[in-house]
Amino acid sequence: MFIKRLLPYAVLFFLLQLLVRLTLLGRAMADVDFTAGQVVQALLAGAWYDVVTASFVLLPAMLYLLLLRGRAQGGKFDRRFDCGLRFAYAFVLLFEAVSEHLFWSEFTTRFNFIAVDYLIYTQEVLGNIRESYPVGWLMTAISVLAALLTWVSVKLFPVNAPVAGFGKRAMSFAGGLAVCGILYAACNSDQGLMKDNAEATEIADSGIYNLFYAFINNEISYDKFYARDEEDTVYRNARALLAQKGAPFVNDGAKDFVRKINGGGAEKHLNVMLVVMESMSADYMGIFGDKTGLTPNLDRLAGEGLSFTQLYATGTRTVRGLEAVSLSIPPTPGQSIVRRPGNGDLFSLGFLFKERGYDTAFIYGGYGYFDNMNAFFAGNGFGVIDRNVMDAKEVQFANVWGICDEDMFTRAIKEADVSYAAGRPFMDLIMTTSNHRPYTYPEGRIDIKSHSNRLGGVKYADYAVGKLIEDAKKKPWFKDTIFVFVADHTAGAGGKAELDPHKYHIPMIFYAPGMIKPATYDELASQIDLGPILLGMLHFSYDSKFYGTNLLAEHAQPPHAFISNFQKVAMVRDNKLTVLSPKRGVDQFSWPDMAVEQGVDTTDRADTIAYYQSASWWKDIYRKLPAGK
């Protein structure tokens, strides 16, 4: 009878999980081609994950049945409580189903580590949901549907029989716990993996299983899970990869990567405005083929400045982009360094400018406690200016993510004016927010109504950039300022291939009329190259720990790029993509066609491991150098 009483909960769980999987499959098939075999494999793997997850999901109902007093079994209290518990199950599972679809709309994946982060930053996330979706209507619909499912469940599986004696119930509960343990041990996150179709893998996954898996495994040890070489071999290979003519290592044979960079002339203490733009995929820009006219200002700046046409983001989160531009380090598996403990006093762009007398600031229109941004930048050479210190008079428009880009740029100009008046150069790193769901911004600026879609967010972000340049041109410091525009990541990295560089393609533009001639750099480039390129333009001489390179230097390293998601990291070089994954996995693909290579080139394997394994030691090797170096 114990199992019979659990049946309605199990049916409800499996029915709704199947419905989620099928509806997500329909959405995925609109974007990516699936073979019949992939569909079958995804559904079978998904059924296995659901069985494993169900063993845990049913535990609350099992606990209720264990604690139910014998005389109450089948009675009035039992019927009412069981009915309420079924409603709670239906409501939670329906809420989870709707949430999975909303999450898919944003990231084209099932729940993952990002969802765990969102559970932490409830103010921004819940605010974003309220401003993006009709929450009241959704919750009402979920409640009504949950009530309907409860009514049907009670009709099909009425509570009209006792469960069993306590001894038998205890044995059944203990057996259930044992099954949970066995199934958990037998399951892992790779069992639904389909290397030739990343979205099919996502369909096979279980959002609930992924959520708990990500919560437990939010940090990933490189040495424990990834392909590795002996420490001495890694140091030797990494030094060879980072070596550059005219930039000798400070300590020959030592286990560090400090190189002496010669700026090639007197340092230019020009001002810098480095604008990191939220979700500005290259695909949205006219210079990369878009015909809808969303980015006239960025397109114009690209034509008047130095534009990098084959630049790739290191990851899919804002903190990855901020890590790349401020630290110039490959994306280590797991969380960004911005989010990790012990991430202060690192070798950073902020300290290099601050030690030269610059006013340095991280300017963010939202609350910088989100993703640990304030603490990270404050600990790495930047002053912090976020919404907490902005006067209400400065804000003409804001949503849950922060003030609109116009207002933030206005504050950035105000900070520049203060530095100029004090006779100090400035280096400001500005993180935009407007090109983010719910895509709201001041009305009347562009021809797309606020709160419409991503295209409106893109076009408004471009409008704000145009206004920034227009306002800056009126300032006496404009002629001595380099503007840099780069995206933090693309608008989405989903697709048939799990790590496809096409999905990481972003713009990078250096703009300084009279100082930087109009040109394009058409070779492969990485987001981590931004810092060394900028410092090269300023002729800074410094001791470097950066992994990026000044691609404009005469003897630059061969061009390459780094991309990642949460678990997998990769290097793009010479039309090959070499991917490192947990369980010591190493795979290689030709690029740009993304065909699977039958074998992995030994040099590419060793070099990719050297970059990522050495970067995983960041706490030991990436500390700030003494001032002046």
Q: Tens of pLDDT along 369-424? A: 999 999 999 999 999 999 999 998 999 999 999 999 999 999 999 999 999 999 99
DSSP 598: S
The full set of domain ranges for the chain reads 2-216, 231-621
Residue 483: left (phi > 0), alpha (psi -120 to 50), or beta?
Answer: beta
What letter represents residue 533's amino acid? I
Distance separating alpha carbons of residues 304 and 299, to the nearest angstrom? 9
Q: Scan for tokens 């950073």, then name that residue.
A: 348
Please name the helix (run of DSSP H) or strand (run of DSSP E) that holds residue 578, with its range, or none: strand 576-581
pLDDT tens digits for 440-466?
A: 999 999 999 999 999 999 999 999 999
Determine the pLDDT at residue 119.
67
CATH number of 231-621: 3.40.720.10
Q: Residue 232's pLDDT is what?
A: 93
Under 8 Å between Cβ of 224 and 536: no
Helix-strand-coil split of the chain, %, nearest 5: 50, 15, 35
pLDDT at position 621 is 92
Geometric angle at alpha carbon 54, from 52 and 55, rounded to 5°: 70
The pLDDT of residue 218: 56
* pLDDT at residue 300 in the model: 98
Other beta carbons less than 10 A from residue 174's beta carbon: 11
CA dihedral defined by 288, 293, 297, 302, rounded to 10 degrees? 20
CB atoms within 10 A of CB 493: 25
10-residue stretch averages of pLDDT, the chain, 629 residues long: 83 95 91 88 92 92 83 80 94 94 83 69 70 87 96 89 73 87 84 78 87 69 86 94 90 86 95 98 97 98 98 96 98 91 95 97 95 96 95 92 96 98 98 95 96 96 98 98 98 80 97 97 97 97 96 83 92 96 91 92 97 94 79
pTM for the full predicted model: 0.80
Q: Are 565 and 559 in contact (CB under 8 A)?
A: no
The secondary structure element, H or E, covering residue 485 is strand 481-487
The sheet carrying 561-564 orders its strands as: 561-564, 569-573, 576-581, 585-590
Cα–Cα distance measured from residue 248 to residue 390, given in angstroms and rounded to the nearest whole number = 45
Q: What is the pLDDT of residue 195?
A: 67
